[in-house]
Structure formats: C-alpha cells, structure tokens
Amino acid sequence: MEIQDLKEGKTSIGELISIAKDVMKNAYVPYSNFKVGAALLTKSGKVYTGVNIENSSFGLTNCAERTAIFKAISEGEREFETLVVVADTEEPVSPCGACRQVMSEFGDFEVVLTNLKGDIIQTSVNQLLPYSFDKDDLKK
C-alpha cells in the first residue's frame, strides 16, 4: 500500500513509521522479547512516542499505543490525528482490545498498522472498534 502524506506542513506517515521503528529499541520486554513502538501525531502537530513496558505481574504491562496516548494526555493534548504502531510481526501488528478502547475515548482518528517488512494497513479507530462504549453511553 502506498504511504500517503498527511496535511501539508504536518509529519508524514512515513516519518511517523520511522519514529515508531526507532523508538521500538526502548521497549522494556524482558519476558516476551516482543518489542512494539508507537508514534502519535496530535492535531497540534506534536508527536508523542510509546513502547510496550512489561511487568513481572503481567496484568500491569502497558502497550506502546497506550504509552503514547497517556504521554500526550499528560502534556495536555486531547485531539489526535494519526497513530502508527509497529512490531516485528508477519502481518501488520494489531492493537489489543484495551488499546482500542482507550483510543476510542479520544474519537475517531487514523491508525496505521505496520511491521518491519513495510506491510501497512491504514484504518481508523472506528473501524478497529465499531460500536464502542464511550462517554456518551454514560449519559443514558
């Protein structure tokens, strides 16, 4: 699939993939050795990175996608443009259910799934998690 550039003056998907691949080396994965990198472009034009961080109490492990989102949120960002996720997988890596739910909290934005071979799936939060439970459901 051809990589499409984002809005003029914004970081391209190709650049985001490069950033996500580069940050993968920082993953803390002593148990699985499965490194994942993420790069999140906000609507303000800033890029936040994330890696997966494992814990001996496996339930406390955090995925790369959520790490990037939480970093952005902690810096005051709330609107996202594109999230790129990369891992050394046969097919483009896919976010877990927890990551999909966290992504959906912040609306529908582009999600690019890839691997080190360059295979790419360009999708969206709504395509990854249709009929999600969100803050509007709490008002009912």
For the annotated catalytic residues, the residue numbers are 65
Structure tokens at 77: 């960002």
With residue 82 as reference, give the H or E element that holds it: strand 80-87
Are 24 and 86 in contact, with CB atoms under 8 Å apart? yes
Measured between alpha carbons, how far is 16 from 3 in angstroms, rounded to an integer?
A: 11
- 107, two tokens: 């609306």
Report helix, strand or coil for 42: strand
The letter for the amino acid at 64 is A
Q: What is the DSSP letter of 51?
A: E
Alpha-carbon gap, residue 83 to 71, rounded angstroms? 13
